[in-house]
Structure 1
């Protein structure tokens, strides 16, 4: 199988859990980082994909770093996984 959720990390289990536990990654905060919520509960402020993957692992959701950008399990608010700092205006 290829695409989001493919490979290690139990895509079938993760998909079943995500249906019950939506993952939301908020816009970058003015001070940096993005708030991560699962099922409405704040897991923490992630400053990278690595942080996000660790928060999800602790919540029982296994996902590989390479999968987060295209994963249907994650609702990226505003911008995708390539931005972790707030936009600066000059």
Structure 2
């Protein structure tokens, strides 16, 4: 929680939360001038505060030094498929040019 990267990640999450909450208050079919911006901004700020507090509360749960709750996988290799005869990559075929 005391690292620069933690606060950059937390600010990124909070900014996304703010934008999503504000967007959620704008309903489909309403004109921009008829939206209750005071209430929408209040909801977005409240959600942003909740996001920052959640990042702080979960700072010791996930990966060290980040607000993430999920620990990133150490091995990023794809899981084995049921069909062992399938190659690990797919061949890309080009469209005929003529």
Higher normalized contact order (CA 8 Å, seq sep 6+, divided by chain length): 1
Larger Rg: 2
Q: Could you say which TM-score interval applies, normalised by the shorter chain?
A: under 0.3
Q: TM-score, normalised by structure 1?
A: 0.25
TM-score, normalised by the number of residues in structure 2: 0.24
Larger relative strand fraction: 1
